[in-house]
Amino acid sequence: MKKYILLIFVLFFSIEMFGQETKTINHELLNHYPLSKVDKRTELLSIVFRLAGNFEYNNDIFRNYVTDIHNHFDKYKDHPLIAFATELRDKNGVSFDAVMFMAIHLEQPPSLNPIVPFSSKVPERRWGQDNANKFVALLKQFYVDAKCEEFFKEHEGLYGIAQEKFIPVYKALDINWYNKYYGVQPEGSLNIIIGLGLGGGNYGPKLIYPDGKEEIYAIMGTSSIDSTNKPFYTVDNYLATLIHEFNHSYVNHLTKKYEKDFESSGSKLFDLVKAGMGSQRYTNWQTMMNEALVRASVIRYILKHNPDGKTAKYQLISEFGKGFFWMKGLVESLGVYEKNRNKYPTLQSYMPVLITFYDGVAKESELMFEIKE
């Protein structure tokens, strides 16, 4: 750990890169999953919270589309739904992924009925059952009042272009890696949604049915616009993020399951890096721990598919720059997991080892910034 100390200070920068060597593989398996698509539910919810003033949904990277949104919807800013969405953000913190959790828990418009019954934790704890039900009732009315279907029909051509442009990224993803790496078969399907109104935001929510079946999502924001004002997506710029967002559905429940075991080490580490984490909107140690394991697993994917190590090195440097100064040790520990699958058939079975790893990192970190006279 001590050999990483200097890197904490000098590597405070970020390199977003995914190498040219990524293979196009598993076409047969990909055919069993739905193609990436623009989804009216995520577009609708991103528009609602844009009007409510959520800064994370007010990015104007895709300027032409954003202009169309405001030209069509600004006249409805005083709708009761928008006032309620603002209240939910200010009082309950409904923002970022909480918004997308609601989106995937709804049927396609115009019905917009909940796919599964809401509860105190469904679609996500920040909503609450009563607020979620009230929001959906207002959303249905907004969909009619604001002529949302008309807006979506006007942009069908654009949505088709986005879907076509994303195909190379979709085909480059090795979906089978998830089952092999995590040691579990998802109880449902993996779905990719392209978000034109999300700006640079990306999310990895999951819907769980009462019978245990799952719908796992990678919701990808659009941050690349070409000279003709159309979105485009390259493997170099989007594949690592796509891998990342699917990882959340495999990781988050594990760190939650062992939350008490991680609390001591996670809290100590978060206190050291909270300023940098806060700038990325990671406001607690639990989120930080989720992100760390997700990001380390992305690097394991890169090493698997780009064995020369160059691309993985760039990704590791990026994570150092974002405050995850223990990332190298975490990636190497996961390498031990991958080499000993007879002993550790699933990542869940390896979690006790990661708990011990983090206890060690936290102990060493106490000495990192101690100045002796």
Per the structure, the count of domains in the chain is 2
Under DSSP, is residue 247 helix (H, G, I), strand (E, B) or coil? helix
Query: Which of these ranges, 7-11, 34-38, 329-333, has the smallest mean pLDDT?
Result: 7-11
pLDDT bucket at 18, cuts 50 / 70 / 90? very low
**Within a domain: residue 253?**
no
Residues 94 and 134 in one domain: yes
Q: Domain boundary at 184, 203, 236, which? A: 236
CA 239 to chain centre: 13
Q: What percent of the chain has pLDDT over 90?
A: 85
Residues 285 and 180 in one domain: no
- pLDDT, tens only, 140-152: 999 999 999 999 9
Query: Which of these ranges, 48-52, 167-171, 197-201, 225-229, has the smallest mean pLDDT?
Result: 197-201
For residues 240 and 18, give the distance between their C-alpha atoms in angstroms, rounded to a whole number. 6
Q: Which domain holds residue 206?
A: 35-236
* pLDDT (average), residues 9-30: 36
**Within a domain: residue 250?**
no
Its pTM surpasses 0.85: yes
pLDDT of residue 59: 93
Which positions ≥6 away from 190 have C-beta within 8 Å? 33, 175, 178, 216, 217, 218, 246
- Per-residue pLDDT at 82 exceeds 90: yes
pLDDT bucket at 2, cuts 50 / 70 / 90? very low
**Within a domain: residue 26?**
no
Residues 63 and 180 in one domain: yes
* pLDDT (average), residues 11-31: 37
- Per-residue pLDDT at 26 exceeds 50: no
pLDDT of residue 277: 95
**Within a domain: residue 157?**
yes
pLDDT of residue 255: 96
Residues 132 and 221 in one domain: yes
Residues 179 and 40 in one domain: yes
- pLDDT, tens only, 283-334: 999 999 999 999 999 999 999 999 889 999 999 999 999 999 999 999 999 9
Residues 59 and 204 in one domain: yes
Task: Write down the mean pLDDT value for the chain.
Answer: 90
pLDDT of residue 34: 54
The neighbouring-strand residues paired with 220 are: 194
Residues 6 and 44 in one domain: no
Residues 133 and 187 in one domain: yes
Of 38, 75, 12, 93, residue with least CA distance to 279: 12
The neighbouring-strand residues paired with 225 are: 231
**Within a domain: residue 209?**
yes
Torsion on CA atoms 332, 338, 340, 345, rounded to nearest 10: 130
Residues 165 and 105 in one domain: yes
* Structure token pair of residue 297: 């697993």
Residues 80 and 199 in one domain: yes
**Within a domain: residue 247?**
no
- pLDDT, tens only, 39-48: 999 999 999 9
Q: Is the bond leading into 186 cis (omega within 30 degrees of zero)?
A: no
Residues 70 and 212 in one domain: yes
Q: Domain boundary at 236, 271, 295, which? A: 236
How many C-beta atoms lie closer than 10 Å to residue 279's C-beta?
10
Residues 144 and 175 in one domain: yes
**Within a domain: residue 165?**
yes
pLDDT of residue 11: 36
**Within a domain: residue 27?**
no
